[in-house]
């Protein structure tokens, strides 16, 4: 195992240090007395070349002379810190007693000063302190980065568990209504496709994807005698069946979870019709929530193209024609048009999950 001293030495050697001074002799002196601490120090006699390097490469510590032609040390430091705010800068100046220069340099971000001629012992002591400070900053930055990664990982794990729970909840209706075993999968994908083509953002697409399968969750409160009847329902039975919309709403609406809140809206509104003849509230047009209008198309199209105890599945093309005929009466005509305009993608979902 590597010792702490060895680890510290390795970290110091990995620091990116740049020294800038228009006098070559001063640069050679800095390089010589920095050999043990910064064996890979880079030196520049031209401040413009130094800035070009800083703009394209990581730099941890900057040693900069104040008196230079074209660009003085404070101007260079200002530009360098704009490029990389994390640079730690030491100002080197022959005018070390000029309080105005010190104050200006401090405002620009300098954390220490060295006077010319440079005293090797003083330099090493000051640079040692700066190095410890920079290494501490890098360690803290690395810790924060690792912490962010762990938080992101934990968040992703929670999201996956949440989505798994939603799938389990969506499956609850399937156990009461066996013919819908693959219905929820197709409805999810049809709904997300419509959300995408409508222009909803990725977050809303995901909400629609995971919430739309909850549209029939209220069927858990419907009698098996009605739900599993092998034939058409009479009027009284149909009235009882319609209650699944309100039951679904009651199950889901009090949750603060965005998927469940959307599921509650979908559960209550997916049987509303665009002309106002639907149930349970008789909403009309855009009074019907968007998620409900999206799920209505996905739900009906899949119901038509699926085999049920009381009916055979419709051919794909006939189901498409039904959507066209019912556009504006049953379905939102804009959404219906989008669905029909992307039949290649609809058919791909239909084929992929036909026997899911």
Share of the chain above pLDDT 90, in %: 38
At residue 327, the pLDDT reads 94
| Highest-pLDDT range among 3-12, 62-71, 138-147, 312-321 | 312-321
The CATH code of the domain that includes 183 is 1.10.3210.10
Question: What mean pLDDT do residues 209-226 have?
Answer: 86
Q: How many whole angstroms separate alpha carbon 182 and alpha carbon 164? A: 16
Does residue 153 lie in a domain region?
A: no
Task: Let me know whether 266 and 122 are in one domain.
Answer: no
Task: Let me know whether 72 and 25 are in one domain.
Answer: yes
Check pLDDT > 70 for residue 141: no
The CATH code of the domain that includes 143 is 3.40.50.2300
Task: Let me know whether 238 and 287 are in one domain.
Answer: yes
The domain of 16 spans: 4-148
Site of tokens 């949750």: 255
At residue 217, the pLDDT reads 87
Question: What crossing angle do the helices spanning 290-304 and 202-211 adopt, rounded to 10°?
Answer: 50
Does residue 155 lie in a domain region?
A: no
Does residue 121 lie in a domain region?
A: yes
Check pLDDT > 90 for residue 321: yes
254 contact partners, CB below 8 Å, separation of at least 6: none
Task: Let me know whether 86 and 209 are in one domain.
Answer: no
Task: Let me know whether 117 and 166 are in one domain.
Answer: no
Task: Let me know whether 208 and 84 are in one domain.
Answer: no
Does residue 319 lie in a domain region?
A: yes
Q: Which of 99, 122, 148 is the last residue of a domain?
A: 148
Report the DSSP beta bridge partners of residue 112. Answer: 90
Q: How many whole angstroms separate alpha carbon 32 and alpha carbon 85? A: 28
Q: Please write the tens of the pLDDT for every residue from 65-79.
A: 888 888 888 899 899
Does residue 154 lie in a domain region?
A: no
Per-residue tokens: 252: 């889901």
Question: What mean pLDDT do residues 212-220 have?
Answer: 87
């Amino acid at each position: 195992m590597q010792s702490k001293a060895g680890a510290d030495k390795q970290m110091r050697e990995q620091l990116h240090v740049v020294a800038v001074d228009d006098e070559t002799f001063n640069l050679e002196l800095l390089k010589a007395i920095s050999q043990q601490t910064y064996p890979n120090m880079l030196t520049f006699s031209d401040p413009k070349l130094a800035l070009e390097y800083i703009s394209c490469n990581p730099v941890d510590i900057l040693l900069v002379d104040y008196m230079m032609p074209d660009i003085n040390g404070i101007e260079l430091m200002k530009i360098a810190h704009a490029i990389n705010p994390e640079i730690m800068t030491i100002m080197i100046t022959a005018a070390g007693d000029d309080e105005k220069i010190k104050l200006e340099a401090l405002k620009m971000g300098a954390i220490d000063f060295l006077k010319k001629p440079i005293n090797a012992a003083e330099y090493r002591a000051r640079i040692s302190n700066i190095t410890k400070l920079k290494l501490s900053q890098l360690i803290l930055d690395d810790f924060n980065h690792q912490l962010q990664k762990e938080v992101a990982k934990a968040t992703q794990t929670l999201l996956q568990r949440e989505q798994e729970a939603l799938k389990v909840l969506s499956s609850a209706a399937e156990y009461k209504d066996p013919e819908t075993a693959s219905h929820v999968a197709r409805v999810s994908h049809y709904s997300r496709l419509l959300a995408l083509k409508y222009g909803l953002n990725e977050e809303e697409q995901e909400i629609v994807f995971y919430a739309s399968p909850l549209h029939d969750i209220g069927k858990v409160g419907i009698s098996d005698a009605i739900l599993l009847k092998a034939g058409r329902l009479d009027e009284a039975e149909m009235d009882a069946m319609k209650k699944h919309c309100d039951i679904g709403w009651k199950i889901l609406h009090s949750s603060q979870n965005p998927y469940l809140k959307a599921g509650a809206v979908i559960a209550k509104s997916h049987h509303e019709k665009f002309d106002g003849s639907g149930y349970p509230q008789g909403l009309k047009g855009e009074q019907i929530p968007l998620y409900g209008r999206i799920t209505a198309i996905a739900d009906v199209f899949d119901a038509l193209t699926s085999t049920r105890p009381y009916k055979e599945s419709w051919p794909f093309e006939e189901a498409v024609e039904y959507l066209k005929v019912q556009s504006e009466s049953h379905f939102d005509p804009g959404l219906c048009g989008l669905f029909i305009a992307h039949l290649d993608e609809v058919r791909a979902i239909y084929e992929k999950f036909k026997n899911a």
